[in-house]
Amino acid sequence: MIDQLPALIIVAPMLGAFLTPIIGWRYQHLCYPWTLLVLTIPLYSAVGALFKVIRSGPFGYNLGGWAPPWGIEYRIDYLSAIMLVLIATIGFLAAVNARPAGKTEFKGKEAQLYTLFLLQITGLLGIVITGDLFNIFVFLEITSLSGYGLIAHGEEGAPMATFNYIIIGTIGASFYLLGVGYLYMATGSLNIADLATILPALYHSKMILVGFAFFTTGVAIKMGLFPLHIWMPDAYTTAPNSVSTLIAPLMTKVAAYLMIRILFTLFAPDFAISVVPVATILGWLAVIAIIVGGVKALAQTDIKRMVAYIMVAEVGYIVMGISVMNRAGLTGAILHIINDACMIFCLFLTIGAISHRGHGREINHFQNLSKKMPLTMAAFVIAALSMCGIPPACGFFSKWYLIMGMITAGQWIFAATLLGSSLINAVLFFRIIEKAYLAPPESQGHNHTDHEAEEIERNDAPLSMMIPIIMSALAILLLGLFSGKIIDAVIQHAVPAIF
């Protein structure tokens, strides 16, 4: 059984997804426990896979017993393993969180919610675990389609946002498919490890160059890299809260993982530096992404939309780390994938909890929120501090590595943009913290005791939302404190040895 673990990671949620509507047909209320049960399997397997990789190095699993490159191979190396754990954990916690909001947002259709949930997680897990290019396309589309289905159930603007996402996302996936096609036509292989040995001889072939261009563009669309991010703010803002906690942290990060795979595993790093100056282009796009994301976020009064724009900037961080092409930068990028997923997850969880308790999403209406939902706001503060890069939260450490990467590469403008962006984040989040924690300026003298304040009822998030909130806030702190260990054990092996 242990040997089949990699296949189990995918098969379990997929079968679970097929069985959920059947269960939901008779026993609607059983869908939630069933989903949680199913999701423990990938969680357990992913952690097991990570430990196995740390112990004995990367390993592969041949689907159906067919040897690569004729068969599909699941390849679990350091980067895949840590992404698996990330997706499985966040997926599980997002499912735990989905119940209260799911009851209102998917009234009567909860079976459908959990089915699509499980399919989405299957897709995400599949993208990171497989070592076959076309398989990635299939899982990419599984992820995207279930995402479309989930987002369409959102609020007023959701169907239009979904439709736009469908059009743009399909262009992205099709470009990816086109890239696969060109590479296949030139080399005859679809297996990533196999291609990595065949390709270096072909770096100057036009077909490979075009294939690479299509790959990068397709993945950039899925990742939301400026200027292909236009689908992102609308889709993530209008999505139902139970859904955005799953999709938002993971989708862009998995696409970033794909970009790392393409640039570093499939094509050797010096392809991106010397043959095609992709690294430079990506770097400057990232700078613009950070600036645009920050500036647009400042203009928002809806907190969810603000976080969606901040996500555009965070994608910029990761791509910037990739583009400097040195060890520190890539370490920072990978660490930031993990850290950012946790931070965004915590933010969307708290936003969902606040919205669930009826306080809406307008920042100007967040008065006294710290008294009404103290634990939720405390978790929000921790996530906010991490976004601003304040130690000991994890954001500081990934920022440190990214800055080291910029300094090593001599890219001062990149470093300045990165630092400026943390200051913009500080402005954004302290605005909200001030609103939520401090009394409105008009009505306070300074000798105001707690007895005189009106009794503000404490109505914190429900338990199934509270548990993921607390766990993600703790994760942010623990990831920060143990950054060194994570880097030593996992990330430094994930960075190509050339650096």
Partner 1 sequence: MGEVIYSAKPLWAVLVSMVAAFLILLTGDKARNLREGWTILAALIKFGLVFSLIEPVLAGKTIEYTLINLLPGVALQFRVDAFGLLFGVVAATLWIPTSFYSIGYVRTLNEHAQSRYFFSFAMCLSAAIGVAFAGNLLTLLIFYEILTIATWPLVIHHEDESAINGGRKYLVYTLTAGCILLLAIGITYSLAGTLDFVGGGFLAGHGSPGLLIILLIMFIAGFGVKAGIMPFHEWLPSAMVAPTPVSALLHAVAVVKAGVFGCVRVILFVFGPQLLHELGVWTILAGVVAFTVVAAGLLALGQDHLKRRLAFSTINNLALIILGVSLLSKNSMTGGILHLANHAFMKITLFFCAGAIYVKTHKDHVSQLDGLGRQMPFTFAAFAIASMGLCGLPPVNGFISKWFLCLGAVETHQLVFLFVILTSAMLDVAFFFPIIYNGFFKQPLPDVAGKIDEAPLIMVIPLCATALFSIIFGIFPNAFLNFFNIVRLAVTNVLGG
Partner 2 sequence: MTEYFLAKYNFWIYVVLMMIGLYAMMGKRNLVKKLIGMNIFQTSIILLFVSAGVKKGGATVPILRHSDYGPEHAEHLIRVADYLNPLPHVLMLTAIVVSIATTGVALATLILIYKRYNTLEEDEIMAIRKDIRSYKTPRILRSKD
Stretch that binds partner 1, among 76-84, 110-118, 129-137, 390-398 (CB under 8 A): 390-398
**CB-wise, 77 or 155, nearer to partner 2?**
155
Round to whole Å and give the CA distance between 330 and 339.
Answer: 14
| Helix/strand/coil for 362 | strand
Task: For residue 168, give the amino acid letter.
Answer: I
413 lies in the binding site for partner 1 (CB under 8 A): no
**CB-wise, 355 or 422, nearer to partner 2?**
355
Task: For residue 98, give the amino acid letter.
Answer: A
The nearest distance, CB 403 to partner 1, in angstroms, is: 5
Give Dmax over CA atoms of the chain in angstroms: 78
Q: Which of 57, 456, 485, 498 binds partner 1 (CB under 8 A)?
A: 485
* Beta-ladder partners of 301: none
With vertex at residue 345, the alpha carbon angle to CA 339 and CA 351, rounded to the nearest 5 degrees, is 140
The nearest distance, CB 203 to partner 1, in angstroms, is: 31
**CB-wise, 57 or 360, nearer to partner 2?**
360
Stretch that binds partner 2, among 173-181, 259-267, 403-411, 417-425 (CB under 8 A): 173-181
Q: Which does 65 bind (CB under 5 to 8 A by kind): partner 1, partner 2, none?
A: none
177 lies in the binding site for partner 2 (CB under 8 A): yes
Q: Which does 44 bind (CB under 5 to 8 A by kind): partner 2, partner 1, none?
A: none
Q: Which of 136, 152, 347, 461 binds partner 2 (CB under 8 A)?
A: 152
The nearest distance, CB 166 to partner 2, in angstroms, is: 5
For the CA atoms of 410, 411, 417, 420, the dihedral, rounded to the nearest 10 degrees, stands at 10
483 lies in the binding site for partner 1 (CB under 8 A): yes
Burial class (CB in 10 A: 0-12, 13-18, 19+), 185: exposed
482 lies in the binding site for partner 2 (CB under 8 A): no
| Helix/strand/coil for 267 | coil
Residue listed under structure tokens 């005791």: 449
* CA distances to 357, 437, 439, 451 from 454, in Å: 20, 15, 12, 8
Stretch that binds partner 1, among 64-72, 197-205, 345-353, 419-427 (CB under 8 A): 419-427
Round to whole Å and give the CA distance between 439 and 220.
Answer: 43
The nearest distance, CB 157 to partner 2, in angstroms, is: 6
Q: Which does 375 bind (CB under 5 to 8 A by kind): partner 2, partner 1, none?
A: none
138 lies in the binding site for partner 2 (CB under 8 A): yes
DSSP letter (8 states) at residue 390: -
Stretch that binds partner 1, among 3-11, 166-174, 440-448, 471-479 (CB under 8 A): 440-448
65 lies in the binding site for partner 1 (CB under 8 A): no
Q: What number of chain residues touch partner 1 (CB under 8 A)? A: 42
167 lies in the binding site for partner 2 (CB under 8 A): yes
160 lies in the binding site for partner 2 (CB under 8 A): yes
The nearest distance, CB 366 to partner 1, in angstroms, is: 15
481 lies in the binding site for partner 1 (CB under 8 A): yes
Burial class (CB in 10 A: 0-12, 13-18, 19+), 148: middle
Q: Which does 184 bind (CB under 5 to 8 A by kind): partner 2, partner 1, none?
A: partner 2
Residues with Cβ within 8 Å of 3's Cβ and at least 6 positions away in sequence, in order, are 61
**Among 440, 438, 431, 354, which Cα is nearest to 387's?**
431
The nearest distance, CB 465 to partner 1, in angstroms, is: 22
Burial class (CB in 10 A: 0-12, 13-18, 19+), 12: buried
End-to-end CA distance of the chain: 37
Residues in the chain: 499
Structural tokens at position 10: 């995918």
166 lies in the binding site for partner 2 (CB under 8 A): yes
157 lies in the binding site for partner 2 (CB under 8 A): yes
Judged by the rule CB under 8 A, the positions of this chain that interact with partner 1 are 385, 388-392, 396-397, 399-400, 403-404, 406-408, 415-416, 419-420, 422-423, 426, 430, 434, 437-439, 441, 444-450, 453, 481-485, 488
